[in-house]
Structure formats: structure tokens, C-alpha cells
Amino acid sequence: MWVTCDWVKSQVEMYTAVDHVFDEACLQTIYIQSTSSIESGLFHRPNEDDYQASMNGILPDSKTHGFRYALVSTMSEATLGIPVPSRLYYNSTSPFKPLDGVRVTVKDIIDISGIKTTNGNRAWAKLYPPLNKTAPAIQTLIDLGAVMSGKTKTAQFTNSDCVTADWVDYHGAFNPRGDGYQDPGVSSTGAGAATAAYDWVDVSIGTDTGGSVRIPASKNGLVALRPSFGATLNDGIMPESTYFDAIGFMTRSPYTLQSFGTSFLTSAAYALNLTLTRNHTTFPRHLIVPSNLWPVANNAPHALFSSWITALATKLNATISTTSIREFWNATAHADHSGTEFSSHLQQVGFSLNWKNQHDHVIAPFKRDYAAAYNGRTPAINPVPAARYKSAENITDADVAESYSRFAYFPSWFGEHVVRSHPSSCSESLFLIPMFDGEPSYRNNVYVPPDVVCFCKILLQRAEPRPGSRFSNRVSGVCE
């Protein structure tokens, strides 16, 4: 084929149409290969993170085969520049790299080689160096061809911090929907905001213990999946609870969710020697809507929920029932747990297993390391997690054992009596939970602090220490 001016022009027009990174600056030098394509060198375009969803942008490091920080300047001192690679260098049809060129962000509790994991805490970031190993789940994505573009903000230690009220160390990401001042959800806050705001983010990786992927996805208008517990390796990820933690992911398109999830979870299952069942021939034929969460508070979102549930039932040719999980429990669980009431039986399970687990395996070692490095000082921790860890100090090993016993019984009971397994459809039913009621939730709301008595004392003792005077620092725990 002859290389003509018209051919070069057509190639440039095609590149400009399919790739927002490519522009005329890429044409300063053109190398024409025998494969009849234009090669101008691997090119990244810096994109401003206007919604403050990111902790940092990253680039591959050819020297370490890990990553390095991308030092990108922007027009704003408060806005990071995230380097986004051109799509022109990737082949998404490769059977060996089905995710080739897919742009992925990673929640900042997940390790990436060469980059610090902060867990949303400045003291942690100051204390610990960059990691020398990438979390296996993220390495799986890299091996499948995905491109890591940066790390996104997380609520501190994956707790349920409210933006503005509780985000002390870092500023919470902005939800791009509506007026731009709605709550973005936690704890995969930056993941939800980035994916909703930017077309240069294809998929964002988060973690989900009690809704930390599903809630930001619902508040930012995304589709998301929290895979079953144990579907991926959690090594290299800060634990909130080793009993519940799962890697999840969110995107703007259900088709992307399906294709990405199929490639990722198939490879993850292979790494764990798990076999994915693919012989289901029908869909579940029953939809269960929990009456304690239904109807939602506002008529407008309730109508949207209802129309979607009706459409889903039509698609699946399924029936719909509205009932309480408490009714299932009272009708079926008493044979094993006579006289128990659902809420009281499970109320403390999450508290005992989550807070105690994270306190003992993350926070206590962190405090010891920090004190050793900084003359006995205590690291600053946001109010919500700090209150939780204080409560966790009173949870005994006996409490954990009892909670685990109750927790272990629940999934088997739920599978047997509520959704019920079925050989042709995996389960007879789908249990639908509205993760977010659709009500406006402004980020500038003032919330009651986790420890009201302590908070009142702080307000009454607001006088600041004079320059040069010594005072007892309630954050670091030492006299300064």
C-alpha cells in the first residue's frame, strides 16, 4: 500500500475520533511501520481531577517494573493532574489480554508497587514507605492488559466517614451529579466520583465490606459488583474485616461491567484454584423486596425503583413478593436458634467481627509503630474510626467467638430458606436491597459527632495554647 497524504490524513482523523489523548502535538515526529500504521510514541495526556477524587496519578516505572508517581502540573493548586494513556496502543481483542488498554483506578487501601498506600490517613502515609509488591488482584488486572492510571481517595481506614464532617486528613471527593454538592458515599468515595465524572476512567476498583462499593455506585449513578466473599485474593489490601472484605468494581456501563467482570473473576478464580459454574440455563424466577426497606421515603425515587423492579420481573418472567427477612427468620430459624429474634441475634455480629478485627490487626500495630518512630506520640485518626476503635477495646475474644458462630450460621440459613439454591438458575430468588433511598443528601450537612460528651468538652475548652506555651496534645497524647 502506498503512503499518501490522503492516507495520513485519514489515519489522523480516525485517531482523533477514537482517542481523546491524540492531538496534533503527537505529529511532530511520525514513524511509519511496515504494518501501515502511524507510530508517534507512547503518549499520555494530563487530565485535571476537578472533582478531587484521586490521591495521585501513577505511571509505569521501567526501572523497577512497578510504578512511580506522575508529577503533573495543572492550572489549579488544589487539582491533581492524572496522566491518561492513549488508546491507540492497545488491542482489546487479544485473547491473552482481554482488558488491554482498559483504564483502571485503584482505591488507596490496595497496594501498588512503588506507591504508598495511605488508607486515607496522613500519619500512616508519613510512617510507612512505598510498597515493593502489587496486590495479587491488581497484578491479575495488569497481566490481563489493564492500565493503572492512579489511586483514588478512601474514607479513612474504610470507615463510614461523612464528607466535610469527618474527613479530617484529606478532602472528600465531589459527587459530579446534580448540583455537585451531594454526598458521594463511602468508603470507596474517590472510585465512585472518578468513574462518574470522567470518561477517561473505564473501571474503578474498590473494596466492599458492608456496602463500600455499592453505596458510592448508587449515589454516583453507576453500576457495580461486589463479588462473593473469597472470589479474589485479598492479599495486599488493608483489612476492615477478614470475614467480610471483598474487592469490587464499578463502571458506567453494564456491558463493561459484564466483560470486565468475566475476564477479571475468571482469572482470579484460576489463581485460587476455584471453578466457576457456567452451566446455569435459566434465571431466578422470584424477586424478594424487603419490607423493612420498602417503600423508600420519597415518592419520586420510589417510582423509579418500582418501574425498574417491574421491568426486571418482566425480563426474568419472575414473580415479586414484599416481605421482611425477620418473617423468614421467625418461620424457619427457631429450630436451630429457639426463641431468638432476628435483630438482636445479629445486631453485634458486624461490630464484633469488623471493629475488633481491624483494631487488632491494623490499628494497634500502627499505633505501636508510630509511637516507636515519634517519641511515644499517638497518630491522628478521624473521629468516626477513633470512636469505633475505642469501642473495640471492650470487645472480648468470647464476644468474637459468639459473633462468629452466629455469622457462620446466617449464610447457610439464608441460602436454604430465603433465596434457596437451584441447579438450573443458581438460586430460586433474587433478594433486592435499595442501597440508597434517592433522597438528596448534601455534603455540607452537620452531623452529631460519634462521642457527644467528648465533643462538648472540646467545645467548652476551645481556648488555643499561646505561642511558646506547653500543652497536652489530645491527638498525639504527649505534652508539647
Among 150-154, 173-177, 219-223, 322-326, which is the least confidently predicted range?
322-326
Contacts of 219 (CB under 8 A, 6+ apart): 175, 177, 182, 183, 184, 185, 192, 436, 441
Look at residue 455 in the predicted model and tell me its pLDDT.
33
Q: Write the pLDDT tens digit of every residue in 267-303.
A: 999 989 988 877 889 999 999 999 888 887 667 788 8
Same domain, 202 and 305: no
Our measurement of the distance from residue 278's CA atom to the centroid of its chain's CA atoms, rounded to an integer in Å, reads: 27
Same domain, 213 and 71: yes
Is residue 19 situated within a structural domain? yes
pTM: 0.88
39/243: higher pLDDT = 243
Same domain, 238 and 347: no
Same domain, 142 and 241: yes
Look at residue 276 in the predicted model and tell me its pLDDT.
80
Is residue 463 situated within a structural domain? no
Between CA 35 and CA 38 the distance in angstroms is 9
Same domain, 24 and 138: no
Look at residue 434 in the predicted model and tell me its pLDDT.
86
Q: Write the pLDDT tens digit of every residue in 305-330.
A: 899 999 999 999 999 999 988 888 88
Instruction: For residue 116, give its domain range.
Output: 46-271
Q: Write the pLDDT tens digit of every residue in 2-59.
A: 777 787 788 777 777 777 777 766 666 665 655 544 444 457 788 899 999 999 999 9
- Phi, psi angles (nearest 5°) of residue 237: -130, 130
Look at residue 475 in the predicted model and tell me its pLDDT.
60
Same domain, 18 and 147: no
Look at residue 73 in the predicted model and tell me its pLDDT.
66
Among 194-208, 302-316, 448-462, which is the least confidently predicted range?
448-462
State which amino acid sits at residue 170.
Y
Instruction: Evaluate the omega torsion of the peptide bond into residue 295 and state whether it is cis, within 30 degrees of 0.
Output: yes
Same domain, 22 and 111: no
Averaged pLDDT score across all residues of the chain: 86
Q: Give me the DSSP letters along 48-83.
A: E-TT--EEEEEEEETTTTEEEE-----S-TT--EEE
Q: What's 202's domain CATH number?
A: 3.90.1300.10
Is residue 457 situated within a structural domain? no
Give the number of other CB atoms < 10 A from CB of residue 476. 18
Q: Write the pLDDT tens digit of every residue in 348-360.
A: 898 899 999 999 9
Residue 74 confidence (pLDDT) above 80? no
Same domain, 383 and 246: no
Look at residue 33 in the predicted model and tell me its pLDDT.
57
Look at residue 31 in the predicted model and tell me its pLDDT.
58
Percent helix, strand and coil across the chain, each to the nearest 5: 35, 15, 50
Is residue 475 situated within a structural domain? no
Residue 432 confidence (pLDDT) above 90? yes
Q: Write the pLDDT tens digit of every residue in 109-136.
A: 999 999 999 999 999 999 999 999 999 9
Mean of pLDDT values over 146-158: 96
Look at residue 403 in the predicted model and tell me its pLDDT.
93
Instruction: Evaluate the omega torsion of the peptide bond into residue 187 and state whether it is cis, within 30 degrees of 0.
Output: yes
Q: Are 436 and 218 in contact (CB under 8 A)?
A: yes
Q: Give CA separation, 101 vs 200, 203, 205, 226, 345, in Å.
A: 11, 11, 15, 23, 48
Same domain, 264 and 381: no
Mean of pLDDT values over 417-432: 93
